[in-house]
């Protein structure tokens, strides 16, 4: 299969890595819109415009399916994007909510971007659960720029110290999962949305592995971050399709 995966930047690579682990014999085409990141505080209309251009890019690549590896786009534009292409599209949030609704717990915290939290997509769809939604807008720029502020991470974690579950509601956040976990107690389980997504899919393995990474803007920090996430051969291309 030829699978398209996209995000605002490098966060979706955490999803790509999980996909490859489960389905290693496919061709993957990744698009990271680093020129326009962060997406987390952009208006819905702008997010749709940016996503539409990426969908058109994937159409030229003749992908068999598209995965929205971005919590912000998934929460704001998924339904609209499904209606503008014949290519099957999967979002990252729906399988996470479906998984969480099967669990038995008392309370759950969500770390996500401003735009995702503003939709209240988790609170609206988690049944009979106590949900605390927290905007963690500083995380994406810190991760992309390789400039972590541990005090900021700690202060957010102290707000959820007694919660049963923490959802990393942005695909960038697993990159700093180790730092987040260090400030939580042992009873708090951390949910990586990539695992929920991949476990919900039923894909085939019918090709050799091929990975092409497209980014709308390349820089040294990005290249270093990519190599710290992916440990497989890949081709990388700068492509501004906006």
Q: What is the average pLDDT across 113-141? A: 94
Show which residues are catalytic: 70, 170
Residues 172 and 214 in one domain: no
- Give CA separation, 74 vs 123, 146, 161, 193, 239, in Å: 15, 25, 27, 12, 23
Tell me which residue range forms the domain holding 29.
2-92+197-238
Enter the pTM of the model: 0.95
Residues 146 and 33 in one domain: no
Task: Identify the band that residue 242 occupies on the pLDDT scale cut at 50, 70 and 90.
Answer: low
Burial of 210 (0-12, 13-18, 19+ CB in 10 A): middle
**Could you tell me the CATH number of the domain that includes residue 81?**
3.40.50.1860
Residue 121: strand, helix, or coil: helix
Q: Mean pLDDT across the chain, nearest whole number?
A: 94
Structural domain count, the chain:
2
pLDDT at 127: 85
Residue 204 has pLDDT above 90, yes or no: no
Residues 221 and 180 in one domain: no
């Amino acid at each position: 299969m030829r699978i398209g995966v996209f995000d605002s930047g490098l966060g979706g690579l955490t999803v790509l890595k999980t996909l490859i682990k489960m389905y290693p014999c496919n061709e993957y085409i990744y698009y990271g819109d680093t020129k326009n990141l962060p997406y987390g505080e952009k208006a819905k209309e702008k997010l749709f415009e940016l996503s539409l251009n990426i969908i058109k890019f994937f159409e030229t690549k003749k992908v068999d399916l598209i995965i929205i590896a971005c919590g912000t786009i998934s929460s704001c534009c998924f339904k609209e994007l499904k209606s503008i292409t014949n290519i099957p599209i999967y979002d990252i949030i729906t399988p996470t909510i479906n998984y969480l609704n099967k669990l038995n717990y008392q309370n759950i915290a969500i770390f996500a971007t401003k735009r995702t939290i503003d939709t209240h997509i988790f609170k609206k769809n988690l049944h009979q659960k106590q949900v605390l939604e927290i905007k963690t807008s500083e995380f994406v720029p810190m991760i992309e720029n390789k400039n972590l502020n541990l005090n900021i991470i700690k202060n957010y974690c102290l707000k959820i110290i007694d919660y049963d579950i923490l959802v990393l509601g942005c695909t960038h956040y697993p990159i700093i999962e180790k730092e987040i976990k260090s400030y939580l107690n042992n009873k708090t389980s951390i949910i990586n949305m990539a695992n929920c997504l991949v476990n919900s899919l039923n894909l085939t393995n019918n090709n050799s592995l091929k990975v092409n990474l497209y980014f709308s803007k390349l820089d040294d920090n990005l290249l270093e971050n990519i190599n710290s996430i992916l440990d497989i051969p890949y081709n990388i291309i700068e492509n501004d399709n906006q």
